[in-house]
Amino acid sequence: MTILSFAAMISAVGAADPAQFVAGVFLGSMLWWTVLSAFSSWIVKRVEIRTSILNRAAAITLAGFGFWGVLVKGLR
């Protein structure tokens, strides 16, 4: 989907050099994931939290969003 959306953007905008656009997207994505991974690694070393607590908090959050979605949209 990502590749198709970027291809659509290139065709719609009419970029003079699509290779430069693709290279920019690739480098930007690579930079984002590098920074995100480095920050995650840094935060894990600084914060001590049990994995089970984090997993339960994530499960409760996801269940809450699911419940909220059912309340707002209803069961169709």
pLDDT mean for each 10 residues of the chain (76 residues):
75 73 84 93 80 88 93 78
CB contact at 8 A, 22 and 6 = yes
What does the pLDDT read at residue 11? 76
**What pLDDT score does 76 carry?**
66
Burial class (CB in 10 A: 0-12, 13-18, 19+), 21: middle
Give the pLDDT of residue 31.
93
Which residue from 26, 5, 7 is spatially nearest to 15, judged by alpha carbons?
A: 7
The reported pLDDT for the residue numbered 36 is: 93
